[in-house]
């Protein structure tokens, strides 16, 4: 059983006005139809002669012609004869200048209702799928051929391009880690000399030093509260980096900085009920970088002292011993000793003993329906997979669906899947230029190759479409699409 595709055009009431000269009038074509059946083009029509008054010695050929302006196929003609011409045709005495005999010969009986049912099938040529392909009906009164006849009707586009019926497929993005929002801060959490225990309440050290970390810990608390001000987010991680000043041996400073950072990280993990792996720590044993910034901008030193300090700070260090040698020079060199005791050690170094923290937040686990409200407010917090799940809440091609697809591309402009899905939406909405731009940013996946094939078919380049569909096989959509252009 042949498969009928829905490439259908209907034209009714196409009337033949009175032609110039001896061309007959009073004829019209009703219900002109053409459609594709596998690799054939089927044409049918009703030729209505009710108002035609044809003299006995007159005749004409009516010929449907398929053309795109450069190629043409003449379908079988209908010969309409007056009374005398009809009998001459039956006796075989009628001279015929045409190359081939008509498919049907009909005698016009004037004054009667008379309709000719016309049906013809011709092989479907590739050019017939193009946008310029159309069907005309020619009236030839001399039997010389359709090229010498006059048009009974304007050319009607075939509209057989199969691209609108081709299948496209969206791609569900992979599930990935959610984007995080980063909130950074700095606090000066104090520790007892040579100790790594964190004191969260006021504490008096053995040397009489008073430690009160409540204000500094409150800085971290306030930063966490701000980061969590959006009820849709949760803490993804907290990162702690402790900095020590360049005094005491480097290895000892490394031990202190690392373990002090760990103590603070463990405290925060417990305070906010975070798994240990979500509260990380690191350290900078000697904060030479910030030491340089202070020396470079300090106002209480001479230009010569500044230059000497920067030269010492910038001197390459390849290990702990190099850093210890720098510290020794700060303490003992005539260039720095007095400055070290009066300014660097009591004022600058305490500023280097700091803790930097990073709070990363991400969306809480949510249903797709809840995510639909997030995408309207804070889409930057959503993964591409989440955005596509929201799009699937709406019918494909709806304004809401296309809006989410566009949002996904806005926040993931370099992602090949985001570009592919945007291209599919653009093709479905008829924006072929935009679709071409998006496909150029996509990959060579079967879904992308299939979309390129559909785009090529829309543009009438069926050879290119075939290549893309073959590259996309065995994707079911591509297999079906290639069947639509295989003639």
Does 9 score more than 60 pLDDT?
no
pLDDT value of residue 13: 35
pLDDT tens for each residue of 114-129 = 999 999 999 988 888 8
Q: What percent of the chain has pLDDT over 70?
A: 92
The residue with greater pLDDT, 206 or 119, is 119
**Would you say how long the chain is, in residues?**
487
CA atoms within 13 A on the CB side of 429: 19
pLDDT tens for each residue of 276-294 = 889 999 999 999 999 999 9
> Quick check: 30 and 48 in contact, CB under 8 A?
yes
Q: Residue 487 — pLDDT band, cuts 50, 70, 90?
A: low
Q: 446-458 vs 416-428: helix axis angle to the nearest 10?
A: 30
Distance CA 468, CA 257 (A): 60
Residue 224: CB atoms within 10 A of its CB come to 19
Enumerate residues 6+ apart whose C-beta is below 8 A from 127: 68, 70, 71, 133
SS3 38: coil
Q: Residue 362 — pLDDT band, cuts 50, 70, 90?
A: very high
Does 11 score more than 60 pLDDT?
no
Using alpha carbons only, how large is the chain's radius of gyration in Å?
A: 43
Q: What percent of the chain has pLDDT over 90?
A: 64
- In terms of DSSP bridges, do strands 210-211 and 203-204 run parallel, antiparallel, or are they unpaired? antiparallel
The mean pLDDT of the chain is: 88
pLDDT tens for each residue of 47-88 = 999 989 999 999 888 899 999 889 999 999 999 999 999 999
> Quick check: 458 and 427 in contact, CB under 8 A?
yes
pLDDT value of residue 485: 84
Distances 475 to 376, 469, 487 between C-alpha atoms, Å: 34, 9, 20
Summarize the confidence of residues 442-452 as an average pLDDT: 97
Tokens standing for residue 296: 């470079």
Distances 445 to 345, 436, 457 between C-alpha atoms, Å: 63, 16, 18
Q: Residue 404 — pLDDT band, cuts 50, 70, 90?
A: very high
| Omega within 30 of 0 (cis) for the link into 14 | no
């Amino acid at each position: 059983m042949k498969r009928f595709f829905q490439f259908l055009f209907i034209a009714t009431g196409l009337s033949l006005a009175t032609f110039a000269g001896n061309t007959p009038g009073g004829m019209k074509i009703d219900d002109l139809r053409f459609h594709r059946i596998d690799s054939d083009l089927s044409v049918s029509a009703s030729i209505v002669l009710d108002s035609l008054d044809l003299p006995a010695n007159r005749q004409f050929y009516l010929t449907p012609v398929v053309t795109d302006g450069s190629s043409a196929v003449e379908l079988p003609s209908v010969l309409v004869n007056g009374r005398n011409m009809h009998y001459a045709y039956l006796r075989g005495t009628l001279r015929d200048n045409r190359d081939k005999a008509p498919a049907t010969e009909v005698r016009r009986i004037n004054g009667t209702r008379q309709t000719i049912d016309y049906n013809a099938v011709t092989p479907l040529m590739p050019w017939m799928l193009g946008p310029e392909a159309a069907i005309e009906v020619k009236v030839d009164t001399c039997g010389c051929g359709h090229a010498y006849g006059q048009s009974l009707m304007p050319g009607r586009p075939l509209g057989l391009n199969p691209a609108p019926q081709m299948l496209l497929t969206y791609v569900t993005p992979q599930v990935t880690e959610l984007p995080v929002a980063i909130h950074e801060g700095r606090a000066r959490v104090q520790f007892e000399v040579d100790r790594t225990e964190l004191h969260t309440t006021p504490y008096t050290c053995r040397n009489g030093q008073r430690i009160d970390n409540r204000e500094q810990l409150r800085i971290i608390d306030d930063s966490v509260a701000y980061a969590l001000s959006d009820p849709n987010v949760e803490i993804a991680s907290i990162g702690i980096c402790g900095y020590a000043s360049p005094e005491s041996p480097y290895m000892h400073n490394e031990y202190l900085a690392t373990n002090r950072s760990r103590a603070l990280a463990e405290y925060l993990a417990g305070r906010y009920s975070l798994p240990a792996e979500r509260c990380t720590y690191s350290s900078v044993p000697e904060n030479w970088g910030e030491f340089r910034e202070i020396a470079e901008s300090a106002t209480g030193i001479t230009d010569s002292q500044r230059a000497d300090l920067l030269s010492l700070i910038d001197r390459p260090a390849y290990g702990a011993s190099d850093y210890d040698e720098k510290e020794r020079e700060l303490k003992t060199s005539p260039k720095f000793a007095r400055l070290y005791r009066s300014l660097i050690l009591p004022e600058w170094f305490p500023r280097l003993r700091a803790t930097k923290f990073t709070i990363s937040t991400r969306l809480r686990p949510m249903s797709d329906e809840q995510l639909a409200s997030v995408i309207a407010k804070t889409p930057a917090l959503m993964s591409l997979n989440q955005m596509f799940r929201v799009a699937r809440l709406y019918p494909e091609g709806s304004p809401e669906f296309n809006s989410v697809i566009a949002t996904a591309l806005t926040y993931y402009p370099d992602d090949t899947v985001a570009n592919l899905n945007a291209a599919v939406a653009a093709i479905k909405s008829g924006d072929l230029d935009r679709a071409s731009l998006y496909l150029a940013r996509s990959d060579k996946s079967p879904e992308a190759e299939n979309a390129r094939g559909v785009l090529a078919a829309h543009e009438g380049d069926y050879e290119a479409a075939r290549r893309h569909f073959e590259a996309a096989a065995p994707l079911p959509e591509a297999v079906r699409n290639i069947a639509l252009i295989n003639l």
